Amino acid sequence: MENREEGKEKPPPEKALLRNLSVKWKNTSVLILAATFAISLILILLNSQFERIFSSNRKLQYEVGMVADRDIVVDRDIIYKDTVATELKKEAKVKLIVPIFQVNDSIAKEVMDDFAVFKETIVSALKNNSTVENTFLTFQAKIPGIVDKVTIEKLLQNRDAKRIMDSAELLLQRALTEGIVSITEETKKSFNSQSVEIWRWKNGKFEKEELELKNLITIGKLPNWIAKKLEGKSFENEEKLLIINLVSDFAREDCFLNKKETEKRKTKIESEVEPVVIKLVKGQVIARKGDVINEDMKAKIDALGEYSLQINLMWIIGSVLLLIITFWLVVFLFRERIETNKLEKNNLILISGVVLVYLLLSVVLSRFDGLQEWLPFAVTIPVATFTVMVTILVSRDIGIILSIVMALLILLIQKMDMYSALFIFLSGIAGTASVQKTEKRIDLIKSGLYIAAFNAFFIIAFGFIKNYDFYKFLVAVLWGLGNGFFSGILSLGFLPILEQVTNAPTRFRLLELSDVNAPPLKRMLMLAPGTYNHSVMVANLAEYACKEIGADPLIARVGAYYHDIGKVDQAEYFVENQRSFNKHDELKPSLSAAVIRSHVKIGIEKAKELKLPKVIIDIISQHHGKTLIKYFYQRAKDEEKNTKILPEDYSYPGERPKSKEAAVVMLADHVEAASRTLKKPSVAKLERLVWDVIMEKFTSGELNESNLTLRDLDVIKKSFVQILAGYFHTRIEYPKITEMDRA
């Protein structure tokens, strides 16, 4: 196992270091994002629950008849359900319910069985000529208390007794089938409906029928119902009266209130009733000090107190979910940048700080009451300030992403106000777009004017949608103009501070550093004039080449100016500053190489002292990469033949160029130095020299991490040749024309 471990090839120390730094940076970025998320969530929840937490109305307790000891004022718009009014509304709806009555078939069967017994008794008595007394007693023995003796006597004396009983039986059957309804006065009071719904089995089918109260068959209305049914029938009046008496004697109520089904209907109706909602407007006075509390006041005070005590759990859950989505979007959009380590820690801290300041400002401004309700709240926030600064300090892409994030966050601050979110997004994008070609700090004022014009245009469009009158249009446009102009002023004020804090390579900062009158460059001119001239020439070469390949020419120029700043204190050890005496003649090759190599490390230290942007420090550290110092390496091999000479001891210990700008500066540096060795330079010689230098760096792997393409290298070569040809004032040598050629 040990041998196997020993046989493994260990990664180079610098790669292990880079891997550790990458892991550390990822962990740091996660912590920054997590902290930003946590603080954002706290701010948003505090804003949404502010009144509930800090409201002075939390402890209000008043009863009807008490005297208010202070003015009771609503501190925020509140919508609450009036339970008393809602209950009254439910009661009114319930009283309009059509109650359900159901026919009991078993009662109908019992009644018809009793009538069949009665009919059989009468038929038997007629057949046997039984007396009235015997017939009455016989029926009483079977079913007592239904028919009296007089009715039996009239039947026995009537020769159409059977026909009378058949008609009575038919009408009784029909009445029971239709349903003889049992409805009390209490039931009528419970339901104000003028009809009822009757459920019955009829002709083998279950049917539901809604009948008006006046058309119901009840015990009291039964005689009239029978009389109407007998109209036009061939019965004498006495016979009709006998039929009515017979049916009335046997009839029983068989249709009753179905409480279970009626209650179901009642519950359904109650659930469908919309609650009575009352809105209390912020600033509304419920009671003045000294007022006697009445029922209406007490209901409003109770609602105010309950609102102050409630935690809106649904809003909290929704806010957390939307915030998670927002930060997931941020991580998704930043993911590639974070993995490739292009988004610096300072940049991420800046973005997080901007988001938190924006949130805090939004929460604070939302507490004030000065803005009219018809205006979008977002016009009070100088949102373009944030996107302008982030665009200048970081990049345009991050400015656009920030606009999206701020628009999503304002939804949580302003309870899903879509107009405010749209204003935030568009004004933020306008801020990003307005600083794309900014050259001077004063241009930020112009940017503010552009943003002001855009805001005004948005407000005008918004006003047409909201149907503003002239006054509202005027006020809204003034708000939009003021917002944009104020954003430009704030950007101008805060940008220099943030430049120093983040050490960002803004265009303004780079232009200041590119001034040849800057103290570090003037010092270089005095102490190392050769290095100064070399740096200026390298800057010209690098700037033009970067412009041609689409890289940042200003970064390349500044990087070239400062790439050899480490030579200033030891200027005499570098050939461009030497006049007649070469100090390296007295030094060992190893020591000479150490001195030459050290200018990169010294340059990095000086750049940090001058607080140069990291992108410039990277160019200083990468402009030689791992190039071998060939002159001293060969000299060491020639002078110390008995000593093992390692190339690593005579190579620069820096990093290979990680950006196009750093790679172009490296190529310009070596091309400019090599071009000084040319005698009688011509365009052809320059082309060959430049291409040889470029290919030497390409084949040695120095350009592998710079993202330069072969097309870029060809463009760089042409750019270098064009600048160098002009510098050396060369002309293309045309061949002489002989007499024969002329002919």
What's the count of helices (H) and strands (E) in the chain, helices before strands? 31, 8
pLDDT band, very low/low/confident/very high, at 312 (cuts 50, 70, 90): low
Mean of the per-residue pLDDT values of the chain: 81
* Strand, helix or coil for residue 123: helix
Give the model confidence (pLDDT) of 458-474 as tens digits.
888 888 887 777 888 88
pLDDT at residue 647 is higher than 80: no
CA distance 89 to 92: 5
Residues 6 or more apart whose CB falls under 8 angstroms from that of 123 comprise: 162
Neighbouring C-beta atoms of residue 514, cutoff 10 Å = 18
Q: Residue 17 pLDDT more than 50?
A: no
pLDDT digits (tens, 9 = 90+) for 672-731: 888 888 887 888 888 899 899 899 888 888 888 888 889 999 999 999 998 888 887 644
DSSP 3-state of 255: strand
Based on its alpha-carbon atoms, the radius of gyration of the chain, rounded to whole angstroms, reads 51
Contacts of 282 (CB under 8 A, 6+ apart): 74, 75, 76, 77, 369
Q: Quick one: pLDDT band at residue 735, thresholds 50, 70, 90?
A: very low
Identify the pLDDT of residue 743.
30
pLDDT of residue 167: 92
**Residue pLDDT, tens place only, 487-542:** 888 888 888 888 888 878 888 888 888 888 888 888 888 888 888 888 899 999 99
- Model confidence at 664, in pLDDT bands (50, 70, 90)? very high
What's the pLDDT score for residue 224?
92
pLDDT for 110 equals 93
Q: Kindly state the tokens that stand for 162.
A: 């059977």
Print burial letters for 521-555: b (CB count within 10 Å at least 16), e (below 16).
beebbebbebbbebbbbbbbbbbbbbebbebbbbb
Higher pLDDT, 106 or 12: 106
Q: Which helix (H) or strand (E) segment is 695 a member of?
A: helix 683-699
Q: pLDDT-derived band of residue 58, with 50, 70 and 90 as boundaries?
A: very low
Residue 107, pLDDT score: 92
pTM over 0.85: no
Percent of the chain having pLDDT more than 70? 86
Residues 6+ positions from 270 with CB-CB distance below 8 Å? 90, 93, 94
pLDDT band, very low/low/confident/very high, at 313 (cuts 50, 70, 90): low
CA dist 333 and 191 (Å) reads 64
